[in-house]
């Protein structure tokens, strides 16, 4: 049963430009890769800017990774593959050259409707 927020916010209060990648439940991916997770990147956030992304399934768990232009980053233990250019992919789908691993943090969308990046 899905019961989380259906829209997630990303707010940059860090003071430097930030780029965000995120992962959300997507049942269409299960048919492609056997794993029901879609990873997307990158959302560019200028200082003070807020962007919103759909959590279409209302799934409780939503994952994110962010890096700032000054080298700061927000990471966690959930490893996925990303690339330095704009992308979207299902987890479990084979990747080619230029993909690298990052660790994502988890957001409980029942308790929180978004992420605020702060120093």
Q: Using CA atoms, how far apart are residues 20 and 109, in angstroms rounded to an integer?
A: 17
Q: Using CA atoms, how far apart are residues 14 and 48, in angstroms rounded to an integer?
A: 8
Q: Using CA atoms, how far apart are residues 3 and 87, in angstroms rounded to an integer?
A: 27
Tell me what pLDDT residue 27 has: 92
Which sequence spans correspond to the domains of the chain?
Answer: 7-111
Q: Using CA atoms, how far apart are residues 59 and 3, in angstroms rounded to an integer?
A: 6
Tell me what pLDDT residue 87 has: 93
Tell me what pLDDT residue 2 has: 64
pLDDT in tens, the chain (119 residues): 568 999 999 999 999 999 999 999 999 998 877 889 999 999 999 999 999 999 999 999 999 999 999 999 999 999 999 999 999 999 877 777 789 999 999 999 999 999 999 99
Cβ 77 vs Cβ 21: under 8 Å: no
* Partners of 12 in beta bridges: 117
Largest CA distance in the chain: 41
9 token code pair: 């916010």
């Amino acid at each position: 049963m899905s019961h989380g927020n259906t829209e997630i916010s990303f707010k940059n209060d860090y003071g430097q430009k930030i780029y965000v990648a995120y992962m959300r439940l997507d049942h269409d991916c299960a048919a492609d890769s056997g794993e029901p997770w879609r990873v997307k990147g990158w959302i560019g956030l200028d200082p003070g800017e807020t962007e919103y992304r759909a959590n279409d399934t209302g799934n409780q768990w939503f994952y994110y990774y962010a890096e700032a232009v000054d080298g700061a980053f927000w990471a966690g233990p959930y490893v996925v593959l990303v690339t330095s250019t704009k992308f979207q992919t299902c987890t479990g789908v084979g990747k080619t050259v230029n993909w690298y691993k990052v660790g994502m943090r988890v957001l409980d969308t029942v308790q929180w409707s978004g992420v605020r990046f702060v120093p």
